[in-house]
């Protein structure tokens, strides 16, 4: 018991806060096990425990429903002051907030804690595709929209649809009238691309690295603010090719709206210390994520800006909550 108390005290002093580490830390993944929310929680679980920032094991629990909506509403209404509980979010959470799929609550109704990684959109074609560049694809779409078929693992209004819609808009084509095929997931969409059933796949940068090594696909553009490191360093962004298309998919955590300032600040300090460690970089890379570190007020400002941007896109593309 004395050892545990000393560990908690040490963590508190290291983090420079007056609040000790939570006794029963929990991360809620707003989906079934195995998906991106689960990955995000387990990244925090491994990172915080390996760095000895927690003196008790972090529990991962699952609260599926509405791509995050059930967890968001439950935490705000029923569990608003749990200082030991963090909840995973993704960029899709911002999109759903923007188009009203989280019900009456908005981005102002929780405490945004930390962004711990990101993925980015990618526009992918077969290796033998006639489209050698993003310009080729956009010009073909502009010339004969009915002949260029986009596909991805999401229905109209989803993140993957949005990536295709932004490319169509660059071609001067109304996204609602572009040819688009929705699949159950990225695996199905890649299979359809390989089979020639779609001509371009709007997927994610993290999922293309294995396919690139096989020489079966060509990535026309990464939808990131700047070039990515490693195996993708040779692929230009859409922005550097002259098209203002950026789709950054962040992953991170928020907390209930009534969590005390002391508890919230402890978590912010814990994540800032974690993000500064090379060990965490390795954990993040192993999970297919790229560096993206924001905490506290800076994250809150970023979230509000992203939701505002998505609201404008939703208006431009005629999307409404269903």
What confidence tens digit (pLDDT) does each residue in 178-206 have? 999 998 778 899 899 999 999 999 999 98
Average pLDDT over residues 153-166: 90
More confident residue, 155 or 307: 307
pLDDT, position 5: 43
Using pLDDT thresholds of 50, 70 and 90, give the confidence band for residue 7: very low
* Stated pTM of the model: 0.85
| Span 136-153, pLDDT tens digits | 999 999 999 999 999 998
Lowest mean pLDDT among 2-11, 108-117, 263-272: 2-11
Using pLDDT thresholds of 50, 70 and 90, give the confidence band for residue 1: very low
pLDDT, position 206: 86
- Write down the mean pLDDT value for the chain: 91
Domain 120-241 in the same topology as domain 2-118+248-316: yes
Using pLDDT thresholds of 50, 70 and 90, give the confidence band for residue 17: low
Domain residue spans of the chain: 2-118+248-316, 120-241
Q: Which of 2.40.30.70, 3.10.20.440, 3.40.190.10, 3.30.360.10 would CATH assign to domain 120-241?
A: 3.40.190.10
pLDDT, position 103: 92
CATH architecture, domain 2-118+248-316: 3-Layer(aba) Sandwich (3.40)
pLDDT, position 186: 82
pLDDT, position 15: 54
| Span 116-131, pLDDT tens digits | 999 999 999 999 999 9
More confident residue, 320 or 209: 209
- The share of the chain scoring above pLDDT 90, in percent, equals 77
- The share of the chain scoring above pLDDT 70, in percent, equals 93
pLDDT, position 21: 86
| Exposure class string for 158-177: b at 16+ Cβ within 10 A, else e | bbbbbbbbbbbbbbebebee
């Amino acid at each position: 018991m004395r050892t545990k108390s000393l560990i908690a005290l040490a963590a508190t002093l290291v983090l420079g806060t007056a609040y000790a580490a939570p006794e029963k830390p929990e991360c809620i993944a707003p989906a079934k096990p195995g998906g991106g929310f689960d990955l995000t929680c387990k990244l925090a679980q491994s990172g915080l425990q390996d760095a000895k920032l927690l003196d008790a094991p972090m529990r991962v629990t699952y609260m599926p429903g509405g791509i995050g909506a059930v967890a968001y509403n439950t935490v705000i209404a029923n569990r608003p002051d749990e200082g030991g509980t963090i909840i995973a979010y993704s960029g899709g959470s911002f999109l759903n907030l923007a188009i009203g799929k989280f019900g009456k609550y908005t981005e102002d109704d929780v405490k945004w804690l930390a962004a711990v990684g990101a993925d980015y959109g990618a526009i992918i074609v077969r290796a033998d595709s006639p489209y050698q560049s993003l310009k080729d694809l956009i010009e073909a779409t502009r010339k004969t929209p009915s002949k260029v078929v986009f596909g991805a693992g999401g229905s109209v209004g989803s993140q993957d649809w949005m990536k295709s819609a932004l490319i169509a808009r660059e071609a001067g084509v109304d996204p609602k009238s572009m040819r688009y095929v929705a699949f159950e997931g990225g695996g199905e969409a890649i299979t359809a691309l390989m089979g020639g059933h779609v001509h371009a796949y709007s997927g994610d940068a993290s999922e293309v690295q294995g396919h690139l090594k096989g020489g079966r696909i060509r990535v026309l553009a990464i939808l990131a603010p700047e070039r990515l490191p490693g195996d993708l360093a040779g692929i230009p962004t859409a922005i550097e090719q002259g098209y203002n298309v950026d789709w950054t998919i962040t992953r991170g955590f928020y907390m209930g709206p009534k969590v005390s300032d002391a508890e919230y600040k402890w978590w912010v300090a814990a994540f800032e210390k974690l993000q500064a460690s090379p060990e965490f970089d390795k954990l993040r890379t192993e999970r297919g994520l790229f560096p993206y570190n924001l905490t506290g007020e800076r994250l809150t400002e970023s979230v509000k800006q992203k939701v505002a941007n998505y609201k404008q896109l939703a208006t431009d593309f005629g999307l409404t909550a269903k």
